[in-house]
A and B are shown apart, each in its own frame.
Chain A
Amino acid sequence: MNPELLRNLWLEAQPLRLALIAGLLLLVFAATSAANGLVPSGGVALALYWFFAVLWGTRSAALAVVGEIRERTWDGQKLSAIGPWQMMWGKLLGATSANWFGAVLCLVVIVASAWRESGPANALSFGAILAAQGLFAQAVALLSSLMLIRRQSGNWRLDTFLCQVAGVGAAFAYYSLWSSVDAFLRSGAETVNWWGHDFNLSAFHFVSLLLFLGWALVGCYRAMRAELRFANGPWVWLAWLLYLCVYDAGFAPEIEGRLAVLSAMPPASVKLALAGLALLGSAYGMAFLEPKDPVRLRWLAEQAQAGNLFTAFLALDAWMLSYGATFVVGLLLAAMWVAGNPALALAVLAMLGFLTRDIAIFVLMRGLAGARGDFGALAVLGALYLLAPVILSGLGFRALDFLFLPTPQAADLALLAGWVQGIGAAIWAVRSIRRAFTGR
């Protein structure tokens, strides 16, 4: 057996703990059965399943690595001969073994209840969806924890909470579809248009869930590789960005049908805009999550200056790749819109300037305040995008929105403002990194 899984089972799936979980569930099901005329309640089992697999399961998954660092055992694990694949599964399934024990007991009741009400096919499908959702939430929590530990914040409680929020959020993205057997049956009757084809809504999202689960597992594997000192190239991250673009762009026909303003634009540009939005989210997300280590940035700059461009490219962080991809897609989009809608094209270019400023703020704040700087950067961005426009509006200077937003109404001024701020913040960030090493 995988030694990491075995060790986790020793620690997490202790007989007393399992007996307590089984006893508690037995009592709850007995109570609800009595209230419902000797029929166990699928609704109560569903709520308990969410508790065990998602709410508590994400905490267990997040603590799988964060807990090792807290207990000072992570160095020993990194020095072991356990490969990243084994380590990932050992932690993902082992750290959550007690959660899965309770979750599987709940699943049995849920499937039995659905079987009676909707037949075996629906019951088994619903059970499979719930199991995939639970695993997805836990994989996202583990992945988030592997990202967050690189920031070395030293605040394991906050890190665990953030990972839990990420995992729970991932699972709840599908909540409205599959919050109950009835919701599951209703979604089976609806369709979604993706790349011009109609798909059964429930089946489409189940396949999507499995694909995103697959990517989350790939992410866990690669993050574990990095922790175990294996070098990760940029290709898998670029493949993920491509997948994200294709997936998002496929919803263009669905969105065009709902927003009349989009139907006037070239269809290809709407797809590209959706892809660009996905990349934009990825750039901001990774700029927050990744460490932006000044030593590493300096090393990359030195490699580039020495002409080792391919070496530098192979070592780029995910936020850099996402930023670069967003930039390329933004330029393409501006080129597509410049003839038909020049204001929108300028707004896209302005947005790239504001993005450059925001990324520089993340780098700058990280250099100034370490891991806490990422939260500081979020606060600064919140002030720039939310507070400042509200204050200006309140003072009657709404026309000055272009200073803080890539607004199409004053796109040329926004372009100027965005890039002045972007270049200024970038120069400030570079100087602060240089000062950290030279004292000048």
Chain B
Amino acid sequence: MIEVRGLVFEYPGQRALQGVSLTVARGAITALVGPNGAGKTTLLRCMAALETPYAGSVTIDGLDTREAPRAIHERLGYLPDFFGLYDALSVRRCLFYAARAHGIGRGQATGAAEAAAAKVGLSDRMEQAAGALSRGLRQRLAIAQAIVHQPAVLLLDEPAAGLDPQARRDLSRLLLALKAEGMTLVVSSHILAELEDYSDRMVIVDHGRIVGGETIALKGAARLRIVLAAAREGLGEFLAAQGTTVLEADRARALVTLPGGLEARAALLAALVRADFPVSDFTEDANALEDVYFARVLGREGAAP
């Protein structure tokens, strides 16, 4: 759905994106994570055809952001990290304007506005001024504006920032509902713990690069932590040969993702034992996402022991 190839973006004196390549699958939720200043927002703005890259390309549904920015805008919704609303307008007027601004005819705009409000749970606040909404409700209104034209792709920059736990849970549900409708979502976030609730894949961005050069599957694959009783060479290579994705590995421990169910795990364990690896621990690690993140971004000292 979204193809990013060799993307380079420069600010004077700083290369914000250093040849990023990335594929975002259709109908999936992909999370962009990374420290502040890593290049996530620039990457999203390039995807949204709001910035022109120095080199490389972004194509969405086969359309190049340089050649057809307006055609891309027709099929894309974008919520910036710091967004604004027309505070003096009612929710109804905000959404009606958003619908009309996205090319929806006058006759259909009212229906589109009401449908978008229903999706985000704002139907009962249509006559309330946008400026009178709470932070969480403003976030919902901003998302409703971004999806009022039913875009194929929705880009969200730090949508959970500043939301209370309830609002975050509502946001997760909303993102999953949009995914169920067939929308492709890219979400940048700092909150790793919540990414697993709704994201299919995770991409770690740091210093303008995709760390490890790959996306990390979060759904449909178990994250397994393997610890050996005694260190042995070749653990990572062996695990990779068994069809796992090695997230981190040294001579005594490894963290991998393994597609498939319980049988696949049993087969991997059996293979390790057959190859005389002294396995002392073989567990699914629910907290491994943070470990992976810190291991890749901060180095080994940031990872869990």
Contacts and interface: CB of A to CB of B under 8 A. Distances in A.
Contacts of B89: 7, 10-11
A299 B85 CA distance: 35
A81 B12 contact: no
B100 A6 contact: yes
A230 interface: yes
A78 B102 contact: no
Interface string B246-289: 00000000000000000000000000000000000000000000
Contact of B50 (A4, A6, A79): A79
B195 to A, nearest CB: 24
Contact of A11 (B70, B74, B88): B88
Given A229-B69, A230-B70, A82 B101 contact: yes
Given A7-B86, A79-B76, A436 B69 contact: no
Given A10-B93, A229-B49, A299 B54 contact: yes
A72 B82 CA distance: 7
Contact of B13 (A7, A73, A81, A436): A436
B80 A75 contact: yes
Interface string A104-132: 00000000000000000000000000000
Contact of A294 (B12, B83, B149): B12
A136 B69 CA distance: 31
A386 interface: no
A76 B70 contact: no
How big is chain B's contact interface, by range? Answer: 20 to 34
Given A71-B84, A73-B84, A229-B52, A6 B12 contact: no
A4 B52 contact: no
Nearest to A68: B84
B48 interface: yes
Nearest to B65: A229
Contact of A437 (B13, B93, B97): B13
Contacts, number: 83
A367 B76 CA distance: 34
A109 B185 CA distance: 58
A77 interface: yes
B73 interface: yes
B84 A72 contact: yes
A75 B82 CA distance: 10
A10 B90 CA distance: 10
B103 A7 contact: no
Find the residue from A11, A230, A293, A298 having the highest chain B CB count within 10 A: A11
B293 interface: no
A228 B74 CA distance: 13
Find the residue from B12, B82, B88 having the highest chain A CB count within 10 A: B12
Contacts of B70: 81, 228-230
Contacts of A4: 101
Contact of B73 (A3, A80, A299, A367): A80
Contacts of A367: 12
B54 A295 contact: yes
B112 to A, nearest CB: 13
Contacts of B73: 78-81
Find the residue from B78, B97, B145 having the highest chain A CB count within 10 A: B97
Interface in A1-50: 3-4, 6-7, 10-11
11 contacts: A10-B88, A72-B80, A73-B83, A75-B83, A79-B48, A80-B73, A80-B101, A228-B70, A294-B12, A299-B54, A436-B13
Given A230-B69, A437-B13, 5 more contacts: A3-B101, A7-B89, A73-B84, A76-B145, A79-B50
Identify the 10 closest CB pairs spanning chains A and B, nearest first. A72-B84, A3-B100, A81-B103, A80-B101, A229-B69, A73-B84, A71-B84, A294-B12, A436-B13, A7-B97
